[in-house]
Structure 1
Amino acid sequence: MNFLASKAQLRASFLRWALFLVPLIVLLGFGSGQFGSAETIWFQSLTKPVIFPPAMWFGIVWSLLFVSVGVALALVVSAWGAHGREIAIVVFALHFIGVLAWTPVFFGMQEMVIALYILVYAVISLLAVIAVFWRVRRLAAVILLPCLAWLIFAGVLNYQFIVENPDGGSDRGGAIERIEL
């Protein structure tokens, strides 16, 4: 016998991991989104870059990306015995922490420059994730390519927000309008 598991067993392992990881990744993404919102007065007062898409697309795109990220991670996690599996999981975890940090920093802390650095980290670390996933399961690496494209776009958009709003936005002090009596 020269194999560890049958194809059916490998498929079942992937399905179990996917049923756990896809909702977990989506839930973590949703949780991160609770620490900041585009509905704040600060964000509403910002000058929007020309490339800023309609707000509805962000929830749709991030949801689809988080589902695909969960599937890619499940492919790697279920690859028992694959060379580099453990390091791929660690590299992914370090990357995903950065992705989750962006929303609280940009919307919650209203720190556009720090948020841009986080996106640079997210892009670079995602390239590392793609490289290590490629060694474990090539399909998992390919599934992450749309996420890479979106993170690059998010970085360009974040940069454009900084250019369009050099003062950081009008609500930095918390007050929009002062009324004297």
Structure 2
Amino acid sequence: MIDTSMGLKDMSKRDILVNVAVLIGFIILCMGGGGIMGAITRNDFGDRSEWYKALIKPSFNPPNFLFGIVWPILYLLMAIAAFAVWTKTGLTKEPIPLVIFFIQLALNFIWTLIFGKAKDLLASLVEIIILWLFILLTIKKFWKVNRGAALCLAPYLAWVTLAVALNYKYWELNPNMKPDYSWFVLKTEL
């Protein structure tokens, strides 16, 4: 943890380097993790996916291109929020806010695999509701440390709220869609 209450000119070079390294680390974790999930599932969403194209979608389904614009912005805001909390709490002084943040981030990545790879509409619905609750908990914990950080997560909560509604409608409108967990099974050749 670095005390960022002092001005930049009052900080040592070491403190500045630590801050920059931690910020870059959060950006890599959030945006890089999102990018990896996007690469793993690039053929499972949008126009590249026969399965996704075949889904009956609700009238409020956003156009596919919008997801590629919104998610990088949200991941960047998550990184900034986590960094802002880290500057106040570090990982040892008050670890709970960042631990909850890391749990919600993992749930975010896992949803992509359950929905996109496994094509399990019910399991992804349950998982995204849990994710939504962890985002809300993260905002609550961040609010106590840094209100600006909590506000950075508000667009993320709004977007995931839409995603919960979409996931529910996909499940409701496509009752005959069967999950495919074959991607998760390790295949070995003898």
State the TM-score, normalizing by the size of structure 2.
0.80
Partner Cα distance (1:151, 1:43) in 2: 19
C-alpha contact 2:31 2:72 (8 A) present in aligned 1: yes
From 11, 28, 31, the equivalent of 2:33 is 28
What are the ranges of 5 or more consecutive residues in structure 1 without an aligned counterpart? 175-181
Q: Give, in whole Å, the separation in 2 of the partners of 1:67 and 1:74.
A: 11
One-letter amino acid of the structure 1 residue matched with residue 126 of structure 2: Y
1:155 correspondence with 2:160: no
* Residue of structure 2 in register with 1:177 after alignment: none
Q: Deviations over 1:109-165 (max 9, x none)?
A: 000111111110111011110111111111100110010000100000111111211
Gap regions ≥5 residues in structure 2: 183-190
In structure 1, C-alpha distance between the alignment counterparts of 2:103 and 2:97, rounded to whole Å: 10
TM-score normalized with structure 1 length? 0.84
| Aligned 8 A contact 2:91 2:98 in 1 | no
The aligned counterpart of 1:6 is 6
| 1:123 match | 132
Question: Post-superposition shift, 1:103?
Answer: 1.0
Which residue of structure 1 aligns with residue 70 of structure 2? 61
Q: Any residues of structure 2 matched to 1:1-181 within 5 Å, and which?
A: 6-8=6-8, 9=11, 12=16, 14-36=19-41, 37-38=44-45, 39-80=48-89, 85-168=94-177
- Pick closer, same or farther for the CA change 1:33–1:56 going to 2, 3 Å: same
Q: Number of aligned pairs?
A: 171
For 1:178, the equivalent position in structure 2 comes to: none
Work out the CA distance in 1 between the residues paired with 2:137 and 2:173: 31
- Percent identity, aligned pairs only, is 26
Structure 2: distance between partners of 1:137 and 1:125: 17
Cα pair distance change 1:82/1:46, threshold 3 Å? closer
RMSD, aligned α-carbons: 2.7
Q: Which region of structure 1 is more displaced relative to structure 2, 79-88 or 160-169?
A: 79-88
